[in-house]
Structure 1
Amino acid sequence: MLEQIKVFHQVVDSGSFSQAAQVLHMAPSSIARNIDSLEAQLKTTLFKRSTRQLILTEEGSYFYKQSGKLVEDADILLAEMRGAQDTPQGLLRISVFESFGNLCLAPIIPEFLQMYPDVQVDLDLDNKLVDLHSDNVDLAIRIGVPQDSGLKARKLLENRTLLTASPIYVEQHKTITQPSDLGEHNCLLISQERQRNHWYFNKGKSKRKVSVTGNLISKGGSPLLIAALKGCGVLLLSEWMVKPYLESKDLVAILPDWTVNHRENGSGEIYAIYKDAQYPKPHIRAFLDFMVNKLTRVR
């Protein structure tokens, strides 16, 4: 039964019978027979099956969560008995917000794949929040720690934000000497899903909450960065996005003496989020360690 449970977990992790069959080097028909046999023994239906997708039933989701430790403990015991360490391998599904994925993750993934050729990375660049359990994601990279107690988080970076604009914009518009001056400027805005946007300023004991408006709003930072570089407005984005352009002088700092954030309590920190397991799968552990090591250069 343990082998059938392992097949079941691979189907969930892979998202389909055919993908699981490729990973396990089995025929899709054998995968289906294993699942049928497991369902018969459990006397329950684990999947809602259709020609287009495979979805866990409520019972299937419960069994997946509860049986995870059984599979992990069995793998650890076998590795101990064999005197071997698991080699990172298999499919690694990563969900990351698009700006960080494009600028920080995409450049380092090829090196990771060269180090671990048996790992396959499925990278999803999307700004929506995902449920690691129901969306079948191994690793999510987000701003802030998760509220779900069933998830673990590993800090990757601080998320300091900087106020910038292009030299052309600065030359052609009124000088910004204090936060309130931004009310007269075109500000490029991250969508907050509310009618009004505010930027929050701190300097010593002084605090300012400034209402900002602009003609471009985006859930992702990349369109705003491009617009700022073309002189369209004032930009508030993470340091890891704007630092290269400050160094090249394509952008200049605005109000550098102030700390400024999109939220009153700060911009948070960037975390890698993964399912709470005593022993995360080897390819997840390997990628976490790799990211932390590589991303220290942008801190």
Structure 2
Amino acid sequence: MLDLARVFIQVVDSGSFSKAGQTLNMAPSSVARNIDNLERQLNVTLFKRSTRQLLLTEEGQYFLAGATKLIEDTDQLVLSMNALNDEPRGTLRISVFESFGNLCVCPYLPEFLARYPQVNVEIELDNKLVDLNAENIDVAIRVGRPVDSSLNARKLMTNHTLLCAAPAYLARYGTPQKPEEASEHNCLLLNHDRQRSYWHFSQKKQHKKIPVQGNLTSKGGSPLLAAAEGGAGLLLLSSWMLTDALKEGRLVPVLPEWQVMQHEHTSGEIYAIYRGGKYPKPHLRAFIDFLLEKTEQHSLYL
């Protein structure tokens, strides 16, 4: 079927059996027999044939779209399989948002580089969205799937969030007993470029959208985490940032019976976003697989 599909696509591109035969180094009669065999297998007519031109039927147009994707995916897969035995090498340019980079990427780079000595890494910790093509970035790690459909995305983990505060803050200002009381507290806020900030509380069938405000906002979570540990206010942050602080008692959960999120429907998912085909180059594939391995080892809520 694949070989017949390749002949079919070439006929469409060339516009005739004879021109397709020249490109494929086949006799026009052989090209015609291939198309006849394909039509028999599919039980459809792909071309309206005349002495002057070939026109695709409606079925032919439908098959062309699917066959083109099938051939492209097959060729990419073959290239990827051929590269499996190649040692990952080359420069890998990574962009990752600051907090995740500091906690979940940078600590493991020495092990990655030791495992793949032919790879060089250039990493940027930045909370701004980057244009992978314009800035020549191989992989960006971000919250949420890319809007650009030409980019590929590999889910790394679900971004669970937790509401917490320092024991000293709660001792001074009291512990909220219901979601509405969060509005009465100083809340440390991630800057989403909005005029008004809300936290979304869910418990079974209850959903509450609570307006919150505070005296500190940041595009990254690290300044907010430091401020919360210093007793500055309530903090809603990703669980992978809070593990040590909660374990050591520097922070304690607030309203743990409620699920609290920055966004109404989801806290988001963290993706590795990359350019190119569905099957990435060896050094990029090695990095993504390595990162997944590390998140699994440390139970970072895949």
TM range (shorter): 0.7 to 0.9
Q: Deviations over 1:132-175 (max 9, x none)?
A: 11121000001111121111111111100000000100101123
Q: Among the aligned pairs, what percent are the same residue? A: 52
Question: Alpha carbons of 1:84 and 1:220: their partners in 2 closer, same or farther (altered >3 Å)?
Answer: closer
Question: Alpha carbons of 1:180 and 1:192: their partners in 2 closer, same or farther (altered >3 Å)?
Answer: same
For residues 203 and 176 of structure 1, the distance between their equivalents in structure 2, rounded to whole angstroms, comes to 16
Match in the other structure for 1:141? 141
Counterpart amino acid of residue 263 in structure 1? H
Match in the other structure for 1:187? 187
For residues 175 and 155 of structure 1, the distance between their equivalents in structure 2, rounded to whole angstroms, comes to 36
Counterpart amino acid of residue 240 in structure 2? W
Match in the other structure for 1:233? 233
Aligned residue pairs: how many?
Answer: 225
For residues 186 and 278 of structure 2, the distance between their equivalents in structure 1, rounded to whole angstroms, comes to 49
Match in the other structure for 2:108? 108
Tell me by how many angstroms 1:276 deviates.
3.6
1:201 paired to 2:214: no
Match in the other structure for 1:169? 169
Tell me by how many angstroms 1:84 deviates.
7.9
For residues 276 and 238 of structure 1, the distance between their equivalents in structure 2, rounded to whole angstroms, comes to 30
Question: Alpha carbons of 1:119 and 1:174: their partners in 2 closer, same or farther (altered >3 Å)?
Answer: same
Q: Which 4+ stretches in 1 moved above 2 angstroms? A: none
Q: Secondary structure at the match of 1:113?
A: helix
If the length of structure 2 is used for normalisation, what is the TM-score? 0.71
Tell me by how many angstroms 1:275 deviates.
1.1
Match in the other structure for 2:264? 264
Match in the other structure for 2:294? 294
Q: Deviations over 1:22-49 (max 9, x none)?
A: xxxxxxxxxxxxxxxxxxxxxxxxxxxx
Counterpart amino acid of residue 232 in structure 2? C
Counterpart amino acid of residue 208 in structure 1? K
Match in the other structure for 1:120? 120
Question: Alpha carbons of 1:178 and 1:118: their partners in 2 closer, same or farther (altered >3 Å)?
Answer: same
For residues 175 and 279 of structure 2, the distance between their equivalents in structure 1, rounded to whole angstroms, comes to 55
Match in the other structure for 1:219? 219
Q: Secondary structure at the match of 1:107?
A: helix
For residues 290 and 197 of structure 2, the distance between their equivalents in structure 1, rounded to whole angstroms, comes to 37
Counterpart amino acid of residue 161 in structure 1? T
User: 5+ residue gaps in structure 1?
Assistant: 1-68
User: 5+ residue gaps in structure 2?
Assistant: 1-71
If the length of structure 1 is used for normalisation, what is the TM-score? 0.72
Q: Secondary structure at the match of 1:91?
A: strand
Question: Alpha carbons of 1:166 and 1:150: their partners in 2 closer, same or farther (altered >3 Å)?
Answer: same
Contact 2:152 2:278 in 1 (8 A): no
1:54-93 correspondence to structure 2 within 5 Å? 76=79, 85-93=85-93
Counterpart amino acid of residue 222 in structure 2? S
- Flag the structure with larger Rg: 2
Match in the other structure for 2:283? 283
Tell me by how many angstroms 1:96 deviates.
0.4
